[in-house]
Amino acid sequence: MSGIIGKITGASWRQEAKQAPLCPIKETDLARRVELLDSFEQAGLGWFWATDAFGRIIYLSENAIAKLGWNKDDLIGRALTDLFLPEQDEDGVSQSERPLKFLLSARNSITQLDVRLAVEGAEIWWEIAGKPQFDKKGEFNGYRGSAKDITATRENQRNSERLSQYDSLTGLANRHRMSKRLGSTLAAYRNAKRSCALMMLDLDRFKQVNDTLGHPAGDELLKQVAGRLGQIIGKRGEIGRLGGDEFQVMLPDIDDRGILGDLASRVIQMVSQPYSINGARAIIGTSVGIAVAPYDGVNTEELVKAADLALYSAKASGRGQFRFYSSALKDGAKHRRNMEEDLRDALHRDELSMAYQPIVDARTHKVACFEALMRWEHPERGPVSPAEFIPIAEDCGLIKKIGNWALETACCEAQSWPVELRVAINVSAVQFANDDFSLTVKRALKKSGIAPHRVELEITESIFMGDDERTQRMFKELKALGVRLALDDFGTGYSSLSYLRKAPFDKIKIDQSFVRGSCEPGNNNAAIISSIVSLADALGMETVAEGVETKDELALVTKRQATHMQGAIFSFAIKHEQVMEKLASGDLLYEPRGPERYRAGRRREFRRIGLIHGNYRYNVVLRNLSKSGAMIEGLMDVPLDTEVVLDLGDGQLAVAVVKRTEGYSQGLEFETPLISDGYEGLCTRHRVSPYQIEAAGKPLAALPADAYAALLDKGAKPDSLPQFREIPVAGFQAKVA
């Protein structure tokens, strides 16, 4: 029997086992069992360890001691836990060593516990198991256990984990890891009331590189992009490639949109520098969308969606730009649908009206004509710009109805003006393309009784994109009615001189974009204005310079000899009653009034905002906005130096001081300048935090459009009375162009 066991070492044992009778080792055959364990130890398959009742090592396999590089005498008698390093979580952050210590002190069994050891600076891993031992009397006298080296297995595991979490091409985090990291970060930050920004990037023209230089070049380009992103972002955040040419950057603890905007600009600038790929040169660009938690989204899904929307909008408005998420982007399509529905009701709800902007003779400044501009006072939104609702009306087929109404209303109102005054009415290309358009005009003329030569139809170059024969026929029919035709927004569209020859225009309107900034140095708009004027002169047409705002622009278009002028410097569009008042006064002259020169960066605005003063929130109308200040209307006699807070919506509160005050109009200066929103707009660096709203007793959610109201207690009354007289917005609506 003993001979057989003794032979279980060589290669011959299988054969012999087949022939010899089977003799199992008895439980009591201690020597044989020890022999077995010895060979197990020596083969390095595993080791054994034992501790005394105080947790001190009393045995460890020789092999293991050798591997650890310890001296046996030093080792015996040490606490078992001294062998191991503290545990770590995934990111290398130390946790407590509680599990092993805890198990030992509770005298629990240990099964498959991974522990870490340092051997000559290198990290190795053991998996250990052990059982507490008790003597006959039930006294605890230590552990007996086993261990094995699992470093290689763990390494493999880590590598495959890495592969599943990182993009093999660029080495950046992949979509899976980004979403996991974002999820855990947002969840943790929520409790700590911290913020986290997310940038979404999409390369512009990447496809072209791929198509022309080939896929390997495309891959190389992506690697270089990843490298550049890494340089800019550094330790500030984590960069991921979501696939294709889409990247994402997570930026913990940044909510200052000034910093984010600067960072995005640098990203765009760096990515747009030329690349050298195997000797070939490639140039791409990138668009960036930015959203910040918890402002724009509380969880991963919301935040990613917000950043995506911002990216989409950045891409849509030209490439190489960044854009912050704003509530206006949300449900863009839904918003449009709502507007469409509301617009259907606008007519019979009497929400539409016509306003009239004088077009004056360039030499005398005497009004020659009024341009009829449609106004829509939305019951909730307030004034909506025709630049927004006319395209909607065109898309949904409402333009015909609304356009007819405008035509009839303008003809009827203008009919009562002195006979030398004309009315100019805007006609969209969609209206013009209707075969019965001339019939509609005829009806409006008849209904109002106005003389046809007093009516001017403003059409844009886009009508020439349609059926040429039809267009010519329509011109003929309109001319036969005796109305005049003006070519609107000249220079912005297809601007072909052949149109001018073919079409019987009486007037060309030089688009505002040529007038604005025409006095800035290095700008060739003045030359363009001159050539349009001489062209029109040669064809016997009048010219109107549109959008004249400043004294220097006025001087310029006067010098360049446009026959007529229109713009804020004379007057914005006014209500019909005001036209009648002006006409009744017999004074048909318009005094130019406005700033000396064009100021870049001052944007004309046209929206209702809030003004907070002494805990009272007033409704005012924002007329223009620049980084440093704003012009508002709607409050009477606000004293100079009054400190106010402008509520610009979306939780943007800006502290400002009144620097100029005149009747119901005030010029304000911001305490902290606004910053660019990446496009044409401006925004505040900081916003009301959703955490503040949460502290006011509401559930944590992304910022509502009316964040300021959410911040206040619902039922709470303003604790002070208004100090300033609010002019009802509708009261000066007509002054608003």
Q: Which residues lie near ligand C2E (CB under 6 A)?
A: 357, 373-374, 385-387, 390, 403, 406, 426-428, 458, 488-489, 547-549, 566-568, 573, 604, 737
- Of 661, 682, 659, nearest to 669 by C-alpha is 659
Distance of CA 196 to the CA centre of its chain: 14
In whole angstroms, the minimum distance from the beta carbon of 578 to ligand C2E comes to 15
In whole angstroms, the minimum distance from the beta carbon of 314 to ligand C2E comes to 24
- Using CA of residue 340, residue 341, residue 342, residue 348, what is the dihedral sign? positive
DSSP per residue, 260-282 = HHHHHHHHHHHHTS-EEETTEEE
Longest dimension (CA), the chain: 134
CA terminus-to-terminus distance, the chain: 111
Q: Does 461 bind Ca ion (CB under 5 A)?
A: no
* 424-453 binders of Ca ion (CB under 5 A): 426
Alpha carbon distance 65, 209 (integer Å): 59
Q: E-strand spans in 583-732?
A: 603-613, 616-625, 629-633, 635-636, 643-647, 653-662, 665-670, 675-676, 682-683, 725-726
Nearer to Ca ion, 255 or 488 (CB): 488
Nearer to ligand C2E, 368 or 373 (CB): 373
In whole angstroms, the minimum distance from the beta carbon of 403 to ligand C2E comes to 6
Q: Does 202 bind Ca ion (CB under 5 A)?
A: no
Nearer to ligand C2E, 61 or 428 (CB): 428
In whole angstroms, the minimum distance from the beta carbon of 490 to Ca ion comes to 8
Q: What is the dihedral of CA 612, 616, 619, 621, to 10 degrees?
A: -30
Alpha carbon distance 643, 646 (integer Å): 10
Nearer to ligand C2E, 374 or 668 (CB): 374
Alpha helices in 496-650 (DSSP H): 497-502, 512-515, 525-538, 551-559, 576-584
In whole angstroms, the minimum distance from the beta carbon of 238 to ligand C2E comes to 44
Q: Does 566 bind Ca ion (CB under 5 A)?
A: no
In whole angstroms, the minimum distance from the beta carbon of 514 to ligand C2E comes to 12
- Of 385, 374, 382, 370, nearest to 347 by C-alpha is 374
Alpha carbon distance 573, 202 (integer Å): 42
Binding mask 473-492 for Ca ion (x = CB under 5 A): ---------------xx---
Alpha carbon distance 118, 125 (integer Å): 9
If contact means CB under 5 to 8 A according to the sort of partner, which of Ca ion, ligand C2E, none does residue 387 touch? ligand C2E
In eight-state DSSP terms, residue 731 is G
Total residues interacting with Ca ion, rule: CB under 5 A: 4
How many helices (H) and strands (E) would you count in the chain? 25, 32
Cβ within 8 Å of residue 607, ≥6 positions away? 382, 383, 621, 622
Nearer to Ca ion, 387 or 721 (CB): 387
In whole angstroms, the minimum distance from the beta carbon of 488 to Ca ion comes to 4
Q: Does 149 bind Ca ion (CB under 5 A)?
A: no
If contact means CB under 5 to 8 A according to the sort of partner, which of ligand C2E, Ca ion, none does residue 238 touch? none
Binding test (CB under 5 A) with Ca ion, winner from 238, 458, 461, 677:
458
Nearer to Ca ion, 410 or 707 (CB): 410
Q: Does 456 bind Ca ion (CB under 5 A)?
A: no
In whole angstroms, the minimum distance from the beta carbon of 601 to ligand C2E comes to 14
Nearer to Ca ion, 314 or 483 (CB): 483
Nearer to ligand C2E, 283 or 439 (CB): 439
Tell me how crowded residue 162 is: count the other CB atoms within 10 A of its CB.
12
In whole angstroms, the minimum distance from the beta carbon of 347 to ligand C2E comes to 13
Residues at the site binding Ca ion, with contacts judged by CB under 5 A: 426, 458, 488-489
